[in-house]
Amino acid sequence: MAKEPGNLSDFRETALNEWSKLIQGYFPEERSNQLLVEPDDRTPDVVAVDWGAYPVRIRECLQSLPKSYRLLGWSTPQGDIGRADFQEEYFEWRVVRDATGKIRRVEMTTEFPEYWGILAAHHPVETLRLVARFAGEPSVSPRAVYGKVDPFHPDVTPEKRKAGFVETMRTFGGNAPWSPYNNGQKAICFMTQGANTMYALIALVAKAAFPYGAEDSETGELRRLSGPEAIAGTRQSAQACRNSDPTVVGATIGLAWDGRLFALDDPIGIYISSVQNERLLQPDGSPVPLEWFDFQRGSRPSGSEGLERSQRLVFEVPPGMGFVVGDLIDSDTDQRIEFGGQIADLVTLVVYLRVSERNAVQTQPEQVPMPTVVPCEQDPGCTYIISRNEEFEESQRNLLAGTPVNILDRTGNPIS
């Protein structure tokens, strides 16, 4: 039986069974013989693959860090569009501002939507309690979380609960979720950007689990492909130019190349491995203490034992300090904190793999022609990002002019 992400214990037996089956079902039947569905005695060692949580592709396409911060923070009365469309590194956030517009709190998550779907299907009371906790409210209306489905009606099945929950709390077509409890207005519970799923993570590793190599054009030697090369030249389930995908793909190919057996660690998850708290300066110039970052929803290492498995991070200045997050300075840029993306930039994520020794299995390199990697700033995906950014900037001008033409309804049509 698979463990719950972060070693949580939200599930009872039925939900845990469903979770285990879901994980197993995500692994393709025809897969590399080096990739195990779960770790075992043959894979005792841990390899941590980490990457920055800030969506670097957006900056590359827009050729500007400030512009990318703005787009990633695109928020409308219908929810956080920047998050739904562009927060793509297996990490999403919402920002809470005070009346003057200064950032008061940033809430971040790496929780999988699939996990929450099962939680909502089997444990509605716990689900509503958890949502209320994240929103800082005593309770929440089931309608705001399950939509038209009454999760407590005697005839309602887990499948119907899940369907109602998914319809209400997840993203469709780049729009923010309908529910204010996961569209950033009142709370953020789990990831909703289309690529931030457990399915995507498993597919990413499964497709990369082969010893892909090519003849180096400069040295003439056969060598393993890097992540960007593999994405360009082999069939991968990965997006080029992100931080996460090429890094995971490259690391996975490296393990396969070395003849290792490997598996995603149990519990599977995307974990918040660290935050660069000391980068942030208080108004008196002293660094922000790590304790202001509240690591949640996962087990923490103890002494030299254990791994960091938090899936939620909440950052705010403690009450009584006389200032808020928006008064802090990022010492890496000397800029005041104005966007959630600046806090995301402090965060490092990790996925753990369990591996065997080298040459545990005999492998033959799968040689392909050396792929040509398109520079990220010329990536075809940039066209969409640039176009959406123009749309965003136009909407901001319209908002300033008092004519919000760009607000969309649930189906994506503009609200007149």
Partner 1 sequence: MSGPTAPANAPTDRLQDGIYFRHGKTPGQCYRLLLLNVDPGTTPNDARAAIIAVWQTLQDLSRGVARDLQPTRPSDPKISVPVASLTCLLGFGARLFNPDLHVPRLMDPALRPWELVALRRPGAPFPNLPWALEEHQKPGETDLAIQFIAETELAVNLAVVEVWKLIVDRGLPLKIVTFHGGFARLDGRSWIDFHDGVNNMEAGEERRSAIEAVIADPPWMEGGTYMGFFRLAVDLASWRLLPREHQEILVGRDKLTGCPLEKVNRGPDGELVPVTPVGCPVSGTEPGSLRPEDREVPRVGDTLVGASHIHRSNHNRGAPNTDANNRIFRQGYEFLESPREGELSLGLNFVSFQRDLRRLKNSLRLPDWLGDVNFGGQVSPKPGEPAPIKLISAITGGFYAVPPKEEPFPGAEIM
Which residues in this chain contact partner 1 in the complex, by CB under 8 A?
44-52, 56, 59-60, 63-66, 216, 218-219, 221, 223, 226-229, 243-244, 246-247, 250-251, 254-255, 257-258, 260, 273-274, 276, 278-279, 285-287, 303-304, 331-335, 348, 355-358, 373, 375-377
Residue 309 in contact with residue 6, Cβ under 8 Å? yes
Peptide linkage before 289 cis (omega within 30 of 0): no
Nearer to partner 1, 47 or 408 (CB): 47
CB of 125 to partner 1, least distance (A): 38
Contact call for residues 112 and 191 (beta carbons, < 8 A): yes
Q: In the complex, what is the shortest distance from the CB of residue 231 to partner 1, in angstroms, rounded to a whole number?
A: 10
Residue 46, SS3 per DSSP:
strand
| Distance in angstroms (rounded) separating the CA atoms of residues 365 and 361 | 12
Does residue 413 sit in helix, strand or coil?
Answer: coil
Smallest distance, partner 1 to C-beta of residue 201, A? 15
Complex with partner 1: residue 57 or 123, whichever CB lies closer? 57
**Residue labelled with tokens 């660094």:** 287
Q: How many angstroms separate the Cα of 65 from the Cα of each of 58, 97, 206? A: 8, 21, 33
Give 121 or 353: the residue with its C-beta nearer to partner 1. 353
Alpha-carbon distance of 264 to 248, in angstroms, equals: 11
Instruction: Identify the three-state secondary structure at position 105.
Output: strand
Q: Which CB atom, from 160 or from 223, has the smaller least distance to partner 1?
A: 223
Instruction: Indicate the residue among 46 and 125 with the shorter CB distance to partner 1.
Output: 46
Q: How far is the CB of 251 from partner 1 (least distance, A)?
A: 6
To partner 1, the closest distance from the beta carbon of 51 in angstroms equals: 4
Cβ at position 154, least distance to partner 1 in Å: 50
Beta strands 212-215 and 222-224 are antiparallel
Q: Which is nearer to partner 1, 94 or 207 (CB)?
A: 207
